[in-house]
Amino acid sequence: MRNSNIVDLRKLNKSYDEGTKKRHVLRDLELEVAQGQMLVLLGRSGSGKSTLLNLLSGIDRPDSGQVMIDGTDISLLTEKERTLFRRTHIGFVFQAFNLISTLTAYENIVLPLRLQGKKDVATEQLALHFLEEVGLADRKDSYPDRLSGGEQQRVAIARALAHEPSFILADEPTGNLDYKTGSKILSMLADLVRKNGRTMIIATHDREMGQIADRVLELQEGQLQEYKAIQES
Amino acid sequence: MPTQSDDLLWISSLRFLLKHPWQLALSILGVALGVAMVVSIDLSNSSAQRAFSLSAEAVAGKATHEIVGGGEQLSEQVYRHLRIDGGIRNAAPVVQGFGRLDGLARSFQILGVDPIAEGPFRDFSSQESGIDLASFIQGSATGLVSNPVLQELALEVNDTVGVSVGGVVVPIRIVGTIEVANERTEQALESVLVVDISTAQRLFDMRGDLSRIDLILSAEQQEQQDQLQIIRSLLPDGVEVQYAGSSSETLAQMTRAFELNLQALSLLALLVGMFLIYNTMTFSVVQRLPLIGRMRALGVTKSEILAMIMREAVLVGLIGTMVGIASGIALAQLLVRLVTQSINDLYFVLSVQELTITPGPILKATLLGLGATVLAAFWPAREASEAQVTTVLKRSNRESALMKRLPRFTGLGIVLGLVGGSLLLIPSGGIVVGYISLLLVIIGFSLTIPACMVGLASLFRPVLGALNGIIGTMSVQGLLSELSRTSVPVAALVVAVASTVGVGVMVDSFRVTVVSWLESQLQADIYVQPPSSVARFADAELLPELVEVLQQTQGVERVHSVYSETITANFGPTNLVTTSLGALAQQTYEIKRAESGFWDRFPNQRVVMVSEVYAYRHSVSLGDTIQLQTDKGLQEFLIEAMYYDYASDLGSVTMNREVYDRFYDNRAISGLALYASEGTPVEVLVERLRERADGLQEVFIRSNRGLREASIEIFDRTFTVTYVLRLLAVIVAFVGILSSLMALQLERAREHAVLRANGMTPGQLWNYVIVQTGVMGGMAGILSLPLGVIISYVLVYVINLRSFGWTLEFLVSPSLLFQAFGLAVLAALLAGMYPSIKMAQANPAHALRSE
Amino acid sequence: MKLSFLQLISIPIVLAILFGVVLFSETEPELESTVSVAEAMGGGNQEGYLQATGPRDFVFPDDHGAHPGYKTEWWYYTGNVFTAEGRQFGYQFTIFRNQLSPPTEISTGIGDSTETGDSSEHETPTDSIDPKKSSEDDWSTDQLYLAHFAISDVAEADHVFEERFSRGAAGLAGAEIDPYRVWLENWSIERLPNSGKNDQSFPMRLHGEMSDGTAIDLKLQPEKPLIFHGDQGYDQKGFDSGNASYYISFTRMETQGEIVKDGKVYHVTGNSWMDHEWSTSALDSGQTGWDWFSIQLSNGYDLMYYQIRNADASQQPQTTGTLVDPLGNTIDLEELEVMLDILEYWQSPHSGSRYPKRWTLKMPELDIYLELGTLFDDQEMRVSVQYFEGNLGVSGQMRGKEVSGTGFIEMTGYEQD
């Protein structure tokens, strides 16, 4: 059933004006992601990866087509509705960590929860729990600029998981980290996602990441090609 | 959008503000300076008004009506007639004037009353309140002051204080004190000396005359009409009943234009303050755009972002307003003295001992301060809410948008300027319309500033390129590539500097006009005047024997006299100047327009000339008639000439003495002009006259030059408050430039780090920053000149004319323009100093790494 | 750093509100004040004033006028008048002169202490400019005038009164002799032109109007010559020398005119009595006040009699009296026996003072036995001084014949402590 899919993209088109001519980034793109799946989305720079992620997260809208997330077609929502949707359904892990520099590690994790209106003790414990899970319980009151790159990304991972989103979008999560740290972070991310039964889409140009994924897709010429299908278990 | 996330967003805001204390402080300063100006002017004005109305209330007491004569005086026969033949009981005679008490540097109202008649009117001067009639009414020069005044004088009851009236000092024994029941009464009586009517008549040389008769009539309409009818039937020609408040109301109206102008100046400061707020808030938003983008990605809505920034603005506004109010109150302590001084010089005697802090001005300033901040912060806040959610910020979007909108912007500016300009053309428009159009012109001009900067850049680029190589060119290009951010501080700077230019040119023009007017006005060699309480009026009289003595001094060839008094005309209280010059007056009076043959009729026919200010105020022109209350009743005079007169903004009417003497019984003289005979040096004659006057009356005997200097000194004193305001505007402008340019450069730390990383030496970077801010200062300096001249043009030809009716010569002094330009450049260079030093010292890697 | 926006904003707001409350709560009070004056010049001090120490040569018309130098002086008019229907009114119309300080040379202080070096007073400069200058123009004075005016409406038992003040200068109040005019603003007694040449008993007009419209306008014609009380007008009141006054009267004046009360005009006729008395001090210490009777009998006789009461009731009261026969001849009662007994008192509900209200007056040597009583109780004057001034009903016998009469009683010094 379609409804069981967390993500359901149909005939997605998106193009940008570049001076006088139009560049078609996505052409009739289709994608279904089921609950609990972990996808790796490959693509070279300029292939439209970021565009796709923006559409998935409701930051941008398609020219045409359907973006069904957890049963809601977010392409039909207003800007504000999409923002509120994003608040509750999507967790982000960015390449540039994107922590709020004026909030501590702990506060950064709490922010999405607070945005959802959760203010109870359970929320705080949840945040602390995830901070512990990423091994930074002792750094909870540190500001982002006091943390190393790896630590910052670990905070970002905790933040993405803490508010229990429908799925997590990770955009080059190891892009700003050295190889060793990157690998460690990636496995931590994968472990935590699986442990919590989350769905995740990782956008990257690093083919190695395919190893941890259930499915690997590549964006080429505005369409998706699947390399590694779901292995029935 | 009050959700549960409020706290974290607010904490984030707060930490951001505290992490950029410079910016926060500058925003607060921007609000505070503007608010302080408004508060201080408002408080000074309202303190002056309150002091005025309190002392008016004190001396008017509970009177509902008053009887006044045609001239300044009223025969006491009228009072006797009312009391004895009319049986009118609620009537009290008053002889009132001004004087100084030895040891106190302010004028006192000397209130001469009959304590026996005072009961229903003024409790502090009535028999019932405990005045000892034996010592009070016997004519032995006794008086009462309030307790605090006695303490101020450091005297005891029964001590004597010297009271100086029109150059004559009289010792008055204080036989009792007025016990004040509250602070309001204390304030009302802080400059009042109560004496018996007989004492007052002697002090003011008014025996047989009263200043007025106070009345209390029924509050019931019909009854009041009946009473009025009876009273009117008892009054001789030229004597009238009017509402008790009407003369003090007229007095208060005199200062309205003056106060409005001060207020407008203070609002101008607030406008500059708004630019500062807009500027700093924009920076604070732009700096945070990535941060805001991330928040948006995490699901913070646009309206939450808008609310967040607006809350910051409210905080800045509140703190700034409070700081502004506090410093405004402090500033008002200084200003109230200047405002009072100006009022004393120009209009009437007023003594303001202390600042009255009333809720009105504070409330107004709070609303203005908060309102201005919120208004100025709205656009930056909206910009913040529009921040791209994407993680990488591309600023060029915004820049290209402004570049694209540049023609629209400029067009709007030109339209606004034209609307403002055409508003000025409405001849019937009042002062307020004048200021609104001035505001439109200023805003219109600032909207064209980005376009002007683009234009100026093409002038600056080759010049600086030639002088400073690639760094020079880069500096100019840097301004244009971030036009949306560089144009705001430049606009703020332009408005601030231009307003100082405008006010400066206005005052200069005024001064030059007055000086040249004085040249032609002062034809005689020597002038004799008694000291008067209002500097720009002659309200005291010369003793007749002194006049006699001076006239008969050896070396005096001829003499003419003037007399000035306030009489009632159909246009209200009018300063009537009487000259004994006759047709010779045409040599001293600068005539604007006159009927042909006027000088043949002036000496002995019923014609008068009016000053242009008088003509403007009362919209009369040649050929109109004016009705004056004379001792022979209401009389009509034909206005046949109009002359320039800068002595008073209330205007005056001039009549020849010969004509005056036919209608008035008063033979007083308030000034003498003497011509030295051939061969007598003026200075020698002045000395001789002084010797002869010694012991008769304390008078000023000054040579032509001496009087001119004294007059200019008074003029300058009158404008002190304007000078101070202008200085404050300069400070606001300076701080504004400094703050906005510094913020701009600090904000570019990252760009500078890139430049440093790419091999720019600290020296070169210093050069780059200084040149860039210098160029901005230079542009602002250049652009402020035309705007400044436009502002001054409007001030001189529209605002001044509509407020006071003066024709001024328009004079733009180059030094003033250089000064303004220098101010802009200097402030800009100083502003570049700190960031460039900081950058030169900093490790570029740090700046590159951050965020 | 857990300060919420509201917490943070609330600090300045609360401060601002407090500030505002303080400012706004400062309501505008009335301008209020009293005067505290240097020690008055000693109310009881008589030094420097003229004193009545012995008989004097009266000179008329001068002695109808004011006698500055003496501390107090009054022109006291009382009378009983009737409408055609017999409705009775009493009136009191008195103008007092009060000298505020001993008659010494007063310097104005203005004009003589300036640096003009010209100590010839202000007169010099002003006279030359101000042609209007006359004695009327000077407001400075040591003469304070008071006036009391009361109407006793017997039918209504209603007593209305008013007091006025004025300085005795600037033409506002005074006593002039030629022609006779004593006035305080628009309350006045002035001589009317008369056919006869008798300067001492001339017709006069008395008129005044109170604030509430109660008014009087009477023409008085003396029917007897001027009476000199005591020792040819010198009336010793205390035992101390100088505690005496000069005292002259018209004891019977034919009166006609109008009284306006409560908006109604009454045409009245009757008899009036005038006293003119001046002195510096009248009472000794220990004397508290007096009870003074003026009586006009139906047989043409007039009687003036007063007693000065002592604080110490054991002492004999000082008394003076004059009986005037219909032709104006006088009998001094000084050496004669006069018995005055109080029959009844009235206590004023206003002041609490207790005044006699009925008396018997016996003069056995003259064969006069009279019963006197106020015509109604409340005729108390509560003005700057409190006293009782009321009209009397008189009945009794004189020389064996029934007589009746009208009169006035004045009682002073009954103030409650």
Locate the domains of chain A by residue range.
37-48+76-228
User: Who among B295, B299, B390 is closest to A100 (CB)?
Assistant: B295
Torsion angles phi and psi, residue C121, rounded to 5: 70, 175
Quick check: B372 pLDDT over 50? yes
Which residues in chain C (218-277) have CB-CB distances under 8 A to chain B? none
Residue-level pLDDT, tens digit, chain A, 233 residues: 445 688 888 888 888 776 677 788 888 888 888 888 888 888 877 778 878 888 888 878 888 888 888 888 888 888 888 888 888 888 888 776 678 778 888 888 888 887 777 777 788 888 888 888 888 888 888 888 888 888 888 888 888 888 788 888 888 887 777 888 888 888 888 888 888 888 888 888 888 888 888 888 888 888 888 876 655 44
Q: Are C291 and C411 in contact (CB under 8 A)?
A: yes
Torsion angles phi and psi, residue C152, rounded to 5: -105, 110
Which residues of chain B neighbour A160 with C-beta distances below 8 Å? none
User: Who among B11, B16, B390 is closest to A59 (CB)?
Assistant: B390
Pairwise pLDDT comparison (C168 vs B573), residue with the higher score: C168
Which residues in chain B (357-396) have CB-CB distances under 8 A to chain A? 389-391
**pTM surpassing 0.90?**
no
B vs C, Cβ pairs < 8 A, gives 232
Decide if B175 and C4 are in contact by the 8 Å CB cutoff. no
pLDDT of residue C380: 94
pLDDT of residue C182: 95
pLDDT of residue C34: 62
Q: Are A52 and A41 in contact (CB under 8 A)?
A: yes
Q: Are A9 and A67 in contact (CB under 8 A)?
A: yes
CB of C3 within 8 Å of a chain B CB? The answer is yes
Which tokens belong to B313? 């603005």
Q: Residue B229: name the closest of B217, B219, B238 by CA.
A: B217
B287 three-class SS: helix
Decide if B134 and C133 are in contact by the 8 Å CB cutoff. no
pLDDT of residue C131: 33
Report ipTM for this prediction: 0.83
CA–CA dist B789, B121 (Å, integer): 54
CA–CA dist B566, B72 (Å, integer): 6
CATH topology of domain C62-101+138-412: AttH-like fold (2.40.370)
CB of C166 within 8 Å of a chain B CB? The answer is yes
Decide if B300 and A80 are in contact by the 8 Å CB cutoff. no
Return the C-alpha torsion angle C45, C48, C53, C55, nearest 10.
-130
pLDDT band at B405 (very low <50, low <70, confident <90, very high): confident
CB of A114 within 8 Å of a chain B CB? The answer is yes
CB of B3 within 8 Å of a chain A CB? The answer is yes
CA–CA dist C219, A5 (Å, integer): 125
CB of A77 within 8 Å of a chain B CB? The answer is no
Range in B241-245, B249-253, C263-267 with the lowest mean pLDDT: B249-253
Which run of H or E residues covers position C76? strand C72-83
CB atoms within 10 A of CB B296: 23
User: How close B507 comes to chain A (CA, Å)?
Assistant: 51
- Which residue from C minimizes the CA distance to B189? C31
Decide if B140 and C140 are in contact by the 8 Å CB cutoff. yes
Residue B421 in domain: no
CA–CA dist C96, C99 (Å, integer): 10
pLDDT of residue B195: 92
pLDDT of residue C35: 60
- Domain span at residue B352 reads 1-60+253-393
CB of A18 within 8 Å of a chain B CB? The answer is no
Range from B513-527, B740-754, B759-773 that averages highest in pLDDT: B513-527
Q: Are C191 and B102 in contact (CB under 8 A)?
A: no
Which tokens belong to C222? 């003396």
Decide if A145 and B850 are in contact by the 8 Å CB cutoff. yes
User: How close A118 comes to chain B (CA, Å)?
Assistant: 7
CA–CA dist B165, B113 (Å, integer): 17
Q: How far is CA B247 from CA B242, B254, B574, B793, in A?
A: 9, 11, 11, 35
Q: Are C138 and B207 in contact (CB under 8 A)?
A: yes
What is the three-state SS of B735-792? HHHHHHHHHHHHHCHHHHHHHHHCCCCHHHHHHHHHHHHHHHHHHHHHHHHHHHHHHH
Contacts of B219-222 spanning 24+ positions with Cβ under 8 A: B219/B64
CB atoms within 10 A of CB B457: 17
Decide if B137 and C100 are in contact by the 8 Å CB cutoff. yes
Q: Are B650 and B598 in contact (CB under 8 A)?
A: no
Which run of H or E residues covers position B825? helix B814-841
DSSP state of A210: G
Residue B760 in domain: yes
CB of A117 within 8 Å of a chain B CB? The answer is yes
Which residues of chain A neighbour B302 with C-beta distances below 8 Å? 79-80, 83
- Which residue from B minimizes the CA distance to A91? B298
Which residues of chain B neighbour A50 with C-beta distances below 8 Å? 390
Chain A: partners with 3+ C-beta pairs within 8 Å = B
Mark whether B27 and B87 lie in a shared domain: no
Q: In sequence order, what E strands does C198-281 have?
A: 204-209, 215-222, 227-228, 234-236, 244-261, 264-279
Residue B189 in domain: yes
pLDDT of residue C114: 36
Mean of all residue pLDDT scores within chain B? 81
Reported as a single tens digit per residue, the pLDDT across B203-218 is 888 888 898 899 988 8
pLDDT of residue B765: 78
CB atoms within 10 A of CB B520: 12
Between helices B246-254 and B256-287, what is the axis angle to 10°?
50
C233 φψ region: left (φ > 0), alpha (ψ -120 to 50), beta (else)? left
Q: Residue A133: name the closest of A196, A80, A218 by CA.
A: A196
Mark whether B371 and B491 lie in a shared domain: no
**Cis before C61 (ω within 30):** yes
pLDDT of residue C38: 45
Amino acid at B539: D
pLDDT band at B807 (very low <50, low <70, confident <90, very high): confident
User: Who among B8, B301, B389 is closest to A80 (CB)?
Assistant: B301
CA–CA dist C348, C356 (Å, integer): 11
CA–CA dist C150, C148 (Å, integer): 7
b vs e for B301-310, b when ≥16 Cβ sit within 10 Å of the residue's Cβ? bbebbbbbbb
pLDDT of residue C130: 33
Mark whether B183 and B55 lie in a shared domain: no
Burial class of residue B154, CB neighbours in 10 A (0-12, 13-18, 19+): exposed
A129 three-class SS: helix
User: Who among B80, B86, B140 is closest to C171 (CB)?
Assistant: B80
Torsion angles phi and psi, residue C396, rounded to 5: 150, -155
A186 three-class SS: helix
pLDDT of residue C251: 94
Which residues of chain B neighbour C1 with C-beta distances below 8 Å? 11, 14-15
CA–CA dist B463, B475 (Å, integer): 12
Q: Residue B129: name the closest of B143, B116, B110 by CA.
A: B116
pLDDT of residue A213: 83
CB of C114 within 8 Å of a chain B CB? The answer is yes
| Ranges of chain C with pLDDT below 50 | 1, 37-43, 106-109, 111-135
pLDDT band at B846 (very low <50, low <70, confident <90, very high): low
Pairwise pLDDT comparison (B493 vs B415), residue with the higher score: B415
B238 φψ region: left (φ > 0), alpha (ψ -120 to 50), beta (else)? left
Mark whether B692 and B748 lie in a shared domain: no
Reported as a single tens digit per residue, the pLDDT across B643-676 is 988 877 778 899 999 999 998 888 888 888 888 8
Reported as a single tens digit per residue, the pLDDT across C155-168 is 999 999 999 999 99
CB atoms within 10 A of CB C401: 10
Q: Are A91 and A32 in contact (CB under 8 A)?
A: no
pLDDT of residue B8: 79
Between helices B289-297 and B6-19, what is the axis angle to 10°?
160
Mark whether B551 and B637 lie in a shared domain: yes
Q: Are C48 and C103 in contact (CB under 8 A)?
A: yes
CA–CA dist A219, A221 (Å, integer): 7
Which residues of chain B neighbour C15 with C-beta distances below 8 Å? 322
CA–CA dist B251, B254 (Å, integer): 5
Q: How far is CA C365 from CA B254, B749, C293, C335, C399, in A?
A: 84, 129, 19, 10, 10
Q: Parallel, antiparallel, or unpaired for β B65-68 and B212-215?
A: antiparallel
C-alpha B352 chain-centroid distance: 16
Q: What is the CA radius of gyration of chain A?
A: 17
Mean of the pLDDT values across residues B289-298? 79
Provide the residue count of chain B: 851
CA–CA dist C117, B707 (Å, integer): 28
Mark whether B159 and B281 lie in a shared domain: no
CB atoms within 10 A of CB C117: 8
Provide the residue count of chain A: 233
CB of A17 within 8 Å of a chain B CB? The answer is no
Q: Are A64 and A76 in contact (CB under 8 A)?
A: no
Mean of the pLDDT values across residues B180-194? 81
Quick check: B494 pLDDT over 90? no
Q: Are C141 and C165 in contact (CB under 8 A)?
A: no
CA–CA dist B73, B208 (Å, integer): 10
Quick check: B752 pLDDT over 70? yes
Interface test with C, best of B12, B17, B133 (most C CBs within 10 A): B133
CB of C113 within 8 Å of a chain B CB? The answer is yes
**Cis before B762 (ω within 30):** no
Mark whether B72 and B158 lie in a shared domain: yes
Q: Residue B119: name the closest of B145, B92, B95 by CA.
A: B92
Residue B444 in domain: no
Query: Helices in A13-115 by DSSP H: which ranges?
Result: 49-56, 79-89, 105-115
pLDDT of residue C134: 41
Pick the CATH number of A37-48+76-228 from 3.30.420.40, 3.20.20.70, 3.30.2010.30, 3.40.50.300: 3.40.50.300
Reported as a single tens digit per residue, the pLDDT across C351-401 is 889 999 999 999 999 999 999 999 999 999 988 888 999 999 999 999 999
C-alpha B523 chain-centroid distance: 31
C417 three-class SS: coil
As for how many domains chain B has, the answer is 4
Mark whether B552 and B672 lie in a shared domain: yes
Mark whether B688 and B725 lie in a shared domain: no
Domain ranges of chain C: 62-101+138-412
pLDDT of residue C54: 85
Mark whether B636 and B692 lie in a shared domain: yes
DSSP state of C87: -
pLDDT of residue B347: 66
Torsion angles phi and psi, residue B98, rounded to 5: -120, 155
Domain boundary pick from B329, B363, B393: B393
Query: Helices in B605-703 by DSSP H: which ranges?
Result: 612-617, 657-663, 682-693
